[in-house]
Each structure stands twice: as structure tokens, then as C-alpha cells.
Amino acid sequence: MTDIPPIEIFDSPEAAADAAAAAIVERLSAALIDRGAGHLCVTGGRSPGPVYDRLRDSPIDWSHVQVTLSDERWVDETSPDSNARLVRERLLKGRAAEANFVSLRGDDADPEHGAWAADLRVAPLIPFDAVLLGMGEDGHFASLFPGNPVLEQGLDPAGARLVLHAPATPTGAPTSPAPPQDRVSLTLHALMTAGTILVLVSGPAKRAVLEQDGDLPIHHLIRAYRGALRLLWSA
């Protein structure tokens, strides 16, 4: 069985958010001292909002921090489905408003070309100092979903790409992401450059996934990553 890090159990999502924010500040602070710059990769969804609320007023030099996303839906940034909108509304406020945000969603007309353009924008941020990820009950992270056509390429730790177009599967298909939208996603190859990866989850179903040694996307990450991986869970 794969030797996975212990699952850190918290009494509440707020306590887990405290721990995640503290770990990110620690890594960014060290990077700012070591080389005068910090690279942070964050995620969308419901869980990370409280982490961003804690981070945005952290007393670090945000003007030298670059922030990007692990994945993005191919929607306008004004859409409620946009991860960039969440980051701008919850993280890039207060002191953190000085950070430079590198969007995965550019001006390209289609997500395939958009993924190539995002690959070039993300490359200067590699390696990341810290990555914050969520996880679905199906074991997906970023937009690397079970059954997606690019899953094998996205999970290749030696792959050449940093960002891929993860196409939506037909509505009603058993492996269809919800909502069924085209997305762009960082690859495992890009994410495993990080000094620290934090996986923030809640609920019994997701804890059960983390306790498995299976073949879901998150298990590929756990097996491949050699940095400081922390699994933060709350009920």
C-alpha cells in the first residue's frame, strides 16, 4: 500500500482554514526571504474561501507574490462559475490586492488555444512555493476528472505540458463534470513542482477517498509527489 501522509483532522472547516492559511504564509514568507518572490497556486470551489479571507491581510510583501489557479472553467470572469472571480473577490483584497494575478483564462476564442497560451503564462511561476487544492468525491483535483479524455496526459508526472484543455463530456454521461463546461487545468507535472501541496477537504465521503490506495486522480498525486503534502480534513 502507498505510504500516504496522515490525514490531519480538524474540528471545523474554520480550524482547517486557519491551518491552511498559516502553512501558505509560512511558505511564501520563506520564499520572499530566499529569493524576493513568492509563487502561489490556489483553487476554486466552496472550501477555499475562508482560507482566502485569512490570507488577504497577512503581513507579507504581496507586491512580490504571483498567484494563479489550479484550474478554470472556460467562462467569462464575471460569471459566478469563474474561479478567477472567487479569487478576486475573496483573496485579492486588503494587503493581498498588491499581488500579481496570472489568469488561466485569456482572450483566446477557444479553450484549446487558451490552454497553450496559459501554459506560457504559468511557466515563469514554476516552481510553486505552495499549492492549495480541493478534491471532489470522485477523487478529482484541479480539473483532472476520472474519465476525461485528457486525464492520462494530465496525470503524467513527466509530461511536457503545464496546462491542458479538459473538455466537457456530454451532458448526462456518467463521467461528466458538473457543471459540464470546458475547462483549462494545470497538470500533475506542473503541480508537483511545489514545495508544499495542501489538500483541503471536508465530509466523510472525501475522507474515505483519501484513505484509499486506489486509482483515482488524487491517488496518482499522492504517489507521485515528493514534497511536503498535507491532507487537511474537517467534518
CATH code of the domain made up of 7-234: 3.40.50.1360
The structure's pTM equals 0.95
On whether the CB atoms of residues 176 and 138 are closer than 8 A, the answer is no
Do strands 183-186 and 71-73 pair parallel, antiparallel, or not at all (unpaired)? Answer: antiparallel
Cell of 68: 494563479
pLDDT 10s digits, 126-181: 999 999 999 999 999 999 999 999 999 999 999 999 999 999 977 666 666 666 78
Cα–Cα distances (Å) from 111 to 37, 91, 115, 118, in that order, read 30, 25, 6, 10
pLDDT on residue 1: 45
H or E stretch at 233: strand 228-234
Give residue 111's Cα distance to chain centre.
18
* CA distances (Å), origin 1, targets 32, 43, 137, 214, 221: 38, 29, 21, 9, 15
DSSP conformation class of 91: T
Please give the grid coordinates belonging to residue 233. 480534513
Residue 176, all three cell numbers = 461528466
Backbone angles phi, psi at 24, to 5 degrees: -65, -45
Q: Distances in Å between the alpha carbon of 115 and those of 5, 108, 183?
A: 32, 9, 9
pLDDT digits (tens, 9 = 90+) for 90-121: 999 999 999 999 999 988 889 999 999 999 99
How many other CB atoms sit within 10 Å of the CB of residue 209?
20
Only one residue has cell 500533475, namely 188
> Can you give the residue ranges of every domain in the chain?
7-234
* pLDDT, tens digit (0-9, with 9 covering 90-100), for 9-66: 999 999 999 999 999 999 999 999 999 999 999 999 889 999 999 999 999 999 999 9
